[in-house]
Amino acid sequence: MTESAEKTDVPMDNAGSDKEVVFHVHGVTKVYQMGEVQVHALRGIDLDLYKGEFAVLLGASGSGKSTLLNILGGLDSPTDGHVQYAGGDLTRASEHELTKYRRYHVGFVFQFYNLIPSLTALENIAVVTEIAKSPMQPEEALQLVDLGDRLHHFPAQLSGGEQQRVAIARAIAKNPDVLLCDEPTGALDSKTGIVVLEALQRVNQELGTTTAVITHNAGIAQMANRVIHLADGRISQVDTNETRLEPSQLSW
């Protein structure tokens, strides 16, 4: 898999039906009860995500992107419908099983980094690798995001972009099967954003990690295999990119 890292511009349209399905989402709805009012965050989602693909979720604010991603990550459960991961049904999993799922299979990256302020960069990664099954060395993970020289800095001593890269290193250090990112560049300027996206792309290609990224930035969609458009709780459109762009080539 590591060889494919060289061929970054190879179209991955073969990430189609013949590819192994990692997530099988079927008829998922999510309704939030807000007192008298019902908020339909998701209104019936059918979607498959394939092994090794890089998918981008696009959509207006409030269209349900985060809700969907959180359900995929086992942080939330749908009101109706099923989500299958590697053959198992997440919607039927217990709290304990979901915790194990997150622990061993999922890497998360969030808009606000969510680092532990009392732990250094290295320790923020170690906190995950200590409980994972076959993790990489924390130093190695930081190397991947070009932060090999910031090991002993506390989050308060790092810039936003550096914190986000630590968060990515933390997400990939356990060698997760899927990487879920909710607006990873949302709080960053374009230059820093590109550095972060390069880190994500590198992980996706070098480790073959299935990656789903939420963004508001349509430009980012150009580096994906597939672009999934959400509108009002439904999938309105799915585009497959013939050619993927390097992050540095993106028009921000």
Ligand X SMILES: Nc1ncnc2c1ncn2[C@@H]1O[C@H](COP(=O)(O)OP(=O)(O)OP(=O)(O)O)[C@@H](O)[C@H]1O
67 forms part of the interface with Mg ion (CB under 5 A): no
Question: Taking Cα atoms as reference points, which of 46, 45, 49 lies closest to residue 23?
Answer: 49
131 forms part of the interface with another protein (CB under 8 A): yes
Question: Taking Cα atoms as reference points, which of 206, 141, 131, 140 lies closest to residue 171?
Answer: 141
Q: Which helix (H) or strand (E) holds 182?
A: strand 178-182
- Residue 110 interface partner, choices ligand X, another protein, Mg ion, none, CB cut-off 5-8 Å depending on type: another protein
CA distance 171 to 175: 8
The DSSP output letter for 217 is -
Report in angstroms how near the CB of residue 212 gets to another protein at its nearest: 15
Angle between helices 121-129 and 160-172 (to 10 degrees): 20
Q: Which of residues 144-173 bind another protein (CB under 8 A)?
A: 154-156, 170
Q: Which of residues 63-102 bind another protein (CB under 8 A)?
A: 66, 70, 73, 75-76, 95-96, 99-102
34 forms part of the interface with another protein (CB under 8 A): no
From the list 3-11, 61-69, 70-78, 82-90, the region that binds Mg ion by CB under 5 A is: 61-69
Cβ-contact 98, 74 below 8 angstroms:
yes
Residue 62, sorted as left (phi over 0), alpha (psi -120 to 50) or beta, turns out to be left
103 forms part of the interface with another protein (CB under 8 A): yes
Strands 54-59, 226-231: pairing is parallel
Size of the site for Mg ion (CB under 5 A): 1
> Could you say which of 4, 8, 14, 118 contacts another protein (CB under 8 A)?
118
Residues at the interface with ligand X (CB under 6 A): 32, 34, 39, 41, 59, 61-67
222 forms part of the interface with another protein (CB under 8 A): no
- The torsion defined by the Cα of 126, 131, 134 and 137, in degrees rounded to 10, comes to 10
- Residue 114 interface partner, choices Mg ion, ligand X, another protein, none, CB cut-off 5-8 Å depending on type: another protein
Cβ-contact 219, 245 below 8 angstroms:
no
215 forms part of the interface with Mg ion (CB under 5 A): no
Site of interaction with another protein (CB under 8 A): 66, 70, 73, 75-76, 95-96, 99-104, 106, 108, 110-112, 114-120, 123, 126-128, 130-131, 154-156, 170, 182, 187
Site of interaction with Mg ion (CB under 5 A): 66
